[in-house]
Amino acid sequence: MKTKLKCILLIDDDPNDILFHKRAIEKANVECEVIAMESATLGLEFIQSRGNNGNTQRQPDLIFVDINLPAMNGWDFIAAYQQGIKTVGLQTTPIIVMLSASGSQEDEDKAKSMGVVSDLLVKPLRKEMIQAIVDKHFS
């Protein structure tokens, strides 16, 4: 049985991309909490804060993370997520979708090799892309 989508976490350093992604989510008629973080570090801190035992706040069901982020890029985020997820105590395992400006074969291969990455999509997110992810994992 698939879980209902309650919370999306967007991780992207570009405020314009975040705004565009939020609009695409609205156009896809996805009704859930949407949280945006402008760095991978803030995204990890958010996940950890939501995963602490006894925390009643919603945990992300779906995470969109940009590959090209300053300081800690999307690949580093995935590696840190994989290392720390066991100690965080999330009640569910979120679907993780990497976002790329290029969609290169190298990025595609690396995303597949990461294990926890569901898909790699070329930015910007569009309503059809979001609907496909929701249909695949949450309908």
pLDDT in tens, 66-113: 999 999 999 999 998 888 765 555 666 889 999 999 889 999 999 999
Six token digits for residue 17: 């991309």
- Residue 87 vs residues 29, 45, 53, 94, 114: alpha-carbon distances, Å: 34, 13, 10, 15, 19
Say what the pLDDT of residue 17 is: 96
pLDDT digits (tens, 9 = 90+) for 2-27: 558 889 999 999 999 999 999 999 99
pLDDT of res. 49: 81
pTM for the model stands at 0.91
pLDDT computed for residue 1 by the predictor: 42
Q: What is the residue extent of each domain of the chain?
A: 7-138
Q: What is 7-138's CATH topology? A: Rossmann fold (3.40.50)
